[in-house]
Chains A and B, each alone.
Chain A
Amino acid sequence: MPRFANPSQFMKLSSYLMPVCGVAAAGFIGVGLYLALFVAPPDYQQGEAVRIMYVHVPSAWMASLVYALVATGSAVGLIWRHPLAHIAAEQAAPLGAGFTLICLVSGSLWGEPMWGTWWVWDARLTSVLVLFFLYLGFIALDNAFDDQERGTRAAAILAIVGVVNLPIIKFSVDWWNTLHQKASVFRMGGPTIAPSLLWPLLVMAVGFLFFFSALLMLRMRSALMHARLRALTFGNP
């Protein structure tokens, strides 16, 4: 089956979903920033430094979520050979790497005033660093072969193998003694974080999610057009 047999459905759908997500992203991030910087109260222990959380935590959630998407897309692509699955995975990976980078840097900036150190090799930080390298490895492997199909499939296998890192990231703060604090939102028994801090966090997170969705659709459209261009150029109208 030609690899991009029917991209037109996706192109049609994304032509209106993409701007919707883009506008929603701008809205939620705008409101989120306002809440995070002006409305949310300073923490009684951490003072104003707690505002870093509104950038650090949403990017951390996105980093893991996007990797799950990359792995799922890779699995669907390998098993069912759906043409869009690999494209979704390949185009999501740089975005996921970006979120992971934001998470690591903002975390480091939060750690220095709070813990007195820019970095510590505890289980949470180490596993997120591993996640970053997995993204880089995926992208590198995807681009490493003259035969693109080969690169796509090799990267897909790597993505699936790396899934073991996700539960390690999530449960690292429970399984080991970490400097990084334990979960205060996604936990059994509900969030322990105060509502005045939770709401800006959720708004920013939703904003990041819409931003990612809009960009992913944009990148997938580019990839599909690239494929069409290649097909035309090599004499296959």
Chain B
Amino acid sequence: MSEFAALVRRDLNLAFRQGGDWANVAAFFALAVILFPFGVGPEPELLSRISAGVLWVAALLAALLSLERLFQSDWEDGSLEALVLMPLPLELQVLAKCLAHWLATGLPLTLIAPLLALVLHFDTAGMGALVLAMLLGTPVLSLIGSVGAALTLGARRGGVLLSLLMLPLYIPVLIFGVAASEAAAMGFTPRPHLLLLAALLAGSLALAPWAAASALRQAME
């Protein structure tokens, strides 16, 4: 367990030290959202109607940005092979990296989202559901993303390929995340959508580390 914590801490240090990925991701998220009123016009009615979708799409794209580097730097300097030799199973190591990734990207996104939601005239009745949905959904993005990142390690044009692979797999998170946020904003219960997001989280917690670890092993063969 201490090895797990150590790995998480190491990745977090890297993320925050390099002036960080986290700042990039948060900045991209904010900028992308802010561009919309300029693009579609500032009418509160219109913005309010698209706010949930815009927030989630922007969060998704922001998460995609940082995924390529999840394993990249370790792979390039050879420390990935060293990690495989650690007593901690590779699946748990992947989980640790996902946790660090989420703490550095998903969590900041979730915390900033309410502020940006106000900018888009998102109905405040839905704020709680929005945050809860993002708390459930952004870890799923990190987990599924780790599978994609592992699969595309060292590929030509890996970044584009990663987006192509991840986007179809991200769509359910997007659908249920937006549904939960909009339902609450309109006064309906977000419960069924939140439950589905929770199911996605449980499922990806179970399956993603295994798939990503297999992919990593293939990459190093």
Interface on A for B, CB 8 Å cutoff? 126, 129-130, 133-134, 136-137, 140-141, 144-146, 149-151, 153-154, 157-158, 160-162
Give A140 to B152 CA distance when docked, in angstroms.
Answer: 10
Verify if B5 is at the interface (C-beta below 8 Å from A): no
Which residue of B151, B171, B221 contacts A141 across the interface (Cβ within 8 Å)? B151
Interface on B for A, CB 8 Å cutoff? 147, 151-152, 154-158, 161, 164-165, 167-169, 171, 175, 207, 211, 214-215, 218-219, 221
Give A151 to B215 CA distance when docked, in angstroms.
Answer: 11
State how many angstroms separate the Cβ of B40 from the closest Cβ of chain A: 19
A153 touches B155 (CB 8 A): no
A-chain residues with CB within 8 Å of residue B221 when the two chains form the complex: 149-150, 153
Which residue of A133, A146, A154 contacts B215 across the interface (Cβ within 8 Å)? A154
State how many angstroms separate the Cβ of B145 from the closest Cβ of chain A: 12
Contact of A153 with B218 at beta-carbon distance under 8 Å, contacts A144-B161, A161-B211 already known: yes
B161 touches A133 (CB 8 A): no
A154 touches B157 (CB 8 A): no
B156 touches A146 (CB 8 A): yes
> A134, A136, A145, A161 — which one has the most chain B CB atoms within 10 A of its CB?
A161
A-B CB contact pairs (8 Å), 19 listed = A129-B168, A130-B169, A133-B168, A134-B168, A137-B164, A140-B161, A141-B151, A144-B152, A144-B155, A153-B218, A154-B151, A154-B152, A154-B219, A157-B211, A160-B211, A161-B147, A161-B169, A161-B207, A162-B169
Binding site secondary structure of chain A? helix
State how many angstroms separate the Cβ of A53 from the closest Cβ of chain B: 26
Contact of A157 with B168 at beta-carbon distance under 8 Å, contacts A141-B152, A141-B161, A145-B154 already known: no
A-chain residues with CB within 8 Å of residue B161 when the two chains form the complex: 137, 140-141, 144
Which residue of B156, B168, B214, B219 contacts A144 across the interface (Cβ within 8 Å)? B156
Give A144 to B165 CA distance when docked, in angstroms.
Answer: 12
A158 touches B151 (CB 8 A): yes
Give A157 to B207 CA distance when docked, in angstroms.
Answer: 12
B214 touches A150 (CB 8 A): no
> A129, A144, A160, A162 — which one has the most chain B CB atoms within 10 A of its CB?
A144
State how many angstroms separate the Cβ of A82 from the closest Cβ of chain B: 17
State how many angstroms separate the Cβ of A164 from the closest Cβ of chain B: 8
Give A29 to B211 CA distance when docked, in angstroms.
Answer: 40
Give A232 to B33 CA distance when docked, in angstroms.
Answer: 56
A144 touches B218 (CB 8 A): no
B-chain residues with CB within 8 Å of residue A126 when the two chains form the complex: 171, 175
Task: Considering the complex, give the chain B residue whose CB is closest to the CB of A145.
Answer: B155
Give A154 to B214 CA distance when docked, in angstroms.
Answer: 9
B215 touches A157 (CB 8 A): yes
Give A157 to B158 CA distance when docked, in angstroms.
Answer: 16
B-chain residues with CB within 8 Å of residue A158 when the two chains form the complex: 151, 165
A157 touches B155 (CB 8 A): no
